[in-house]
Amino acid sequence: MSVSIQILKVEIEELKKKAAHQIKEIVFDNVETFRIKFLSRKGEIAILFEKLKEISVSEKPEAGKLLNELRNQITATFEKKLETLNQAKTESDNFVDVSLPGRTQKLGSLHPISQTMMEIEKIFYGMGFNSVVGPEIEDDFHNFTALNFPKNHPARDMQDTFFINEDILLRTHTTSVQIRAMELDKPPMRIIMPGRVYRNEAISSRSYCLFHQVDGVYIDKKVSMADLKGTLVSFAKQFYGSSIKYKIRPSYFPFTEPSLEMDITCFLCKGNGCKICKHSGWLEILGAGMIHPNVYKSVGINKNEWNGFAFGMGIERITLLRMGIDDIRMLYENDVRMLQQLA
């Protein structure tokens, strides 16, 4: 049962050819396939080595020599190929195609709420107002008591206010900032106070647990209702368009006396009546009034020396209307596809 060296020689030659042919086909991803097939412990070369056992003693040395040569040759060619492949890979990794177009940077955009806020701020800056911000976590004094809310006022109910403890809460309006501003600064003052407010309301397409407001205060000597009206009308015309009509009607807020609310002709139906204005042709845009004497008292401003007005407006509703969105929650989901459309 011996194998003649002649047959072995033929097999060696065949394997040489086969390997030489396959080595040409090697690419970076199938290097291992070649190595396993030819050079591993169970590979084709190893199989030929197995046959040494069956070669006669006299021919063994020559057969061994031939097999060793075969293995060395294939190993050497394989390693050389590997080196070429590695070199090519490094070169392609480092290659910079300077003719490719540059990668453009994706730009973000301002959130619709920020856009509205900034537009409002710009208009008031034009009328000499400065911007002031205050804390979102407030105490009862700044949010309610100093603003002349009676102790049993329903707005203090757990229903509307997120209380942190008996005294600390999430502010329910930016009107709290006017108290902080009056504590820190002396009149005359002409400031707007933009910011985020929180209310414990059932979440729906129309209301959310947080939203934004801009409050304003103007305190000086001899500030009158006429100044208030002039400021509000000027703002409304700049913001909503010079052709809008407006309506000022009496209202009630604890921190102003007299108090008023301002409506403008619905800018969607131009006053003809639509779903948004509930077919009235009017939209309520803000609350305002002359600052209540009790408010001055709570911050130690002499009410006989100074007087002024205050106003406040919500940002969400007008943003929704202007952007043509019908669900307030969309402003808080941060869906990039939606934000990009409103950029």
Q: Does 298 bind ligand DAH (CB under 6 A)?
A: no
| Distance between CA atoms of residues 17 and 36, nearest Å | 17
3-state secondary structure of 210: strand
Q: Does 195 bind ligand DAH (CB under 6 A)?
A: no
In sequence order, which ranges of the chain are alpha helices (DSSP H)? 5-25, 31-34, 44-50, 60-94, 112-126, 140-143, 176-184, 225-240, 293-299, 316-323, 330-333, 336-341
Do strands 282-291 and 307-314 pair parallel, antiparallel, or not at all (unpaired)? antiparallel
Nearer to ligand DAH, 277 or 315 (CB): 315
**String of contacts with ligand DAH for each residue 198-217, x by CB under 6 A:** -----------------x--
Q: Provide the minimum distance between the beta carbon of 226 and ligand DAH in the complex, in angstroms, as a whole number.
A: 16
Q: Provide the minimum distance between the beta carbon of 99 and ligand DAH in the complex, in angstroms, as a whole number.
A: 59
Q: Provide the minimum distance between the beta carbon of 332 and ligand DAH in the complex, in angstroms, as a whole number.
A: 19
| Distance between CA atoms of residues 132 and 251, nearest Å | 26
- Which range of residues in 2-10, 307-315, 323-331, 333-341 is near ligand DAH by CB under 6 A? 307-315
Residue 56: φ, ψ to 5° = -65, 155
**String of contacts with ligand DAH for each residue 229-268, x by CB under 6 A:** ------------------------x--x------------
Q: Provide the minimum distance between the beta carbon of 165 and ligand DAH in the complex, in angstroms, as a whole number.
A: 22
Q: Does 45 bind ligand DAH (CB under 6 A)?
A: no
Q: Provide the minimum distance between the beta carbon of 244 and ligand DAH in the complex, in angstroms, as a whole number.
A: 20
3-state secondary structure of 290: strand
CB 184 within 8 A of CB 201: no
Q: Does 290 bind ligand DAH (CB under 6 A)?
A: no
CA dihedral 178, 224, 128, 306 (to 10 degrees): -50
Nearer to ligand DAH, 258 or 281 (CB): 258
Find residue 170's DSSP bridge partners.
Answer: 137
Q: Give the closest residue to 123 by CA, choosing from 268, 254, 271, 232.
A: 232
Number of residues that bind ligand DAH (CB under 6 A): 11
Residues in touch with ligand DAH (CB under 6 A): 173, 175, 215, 253, 256, 287-289, 310-312
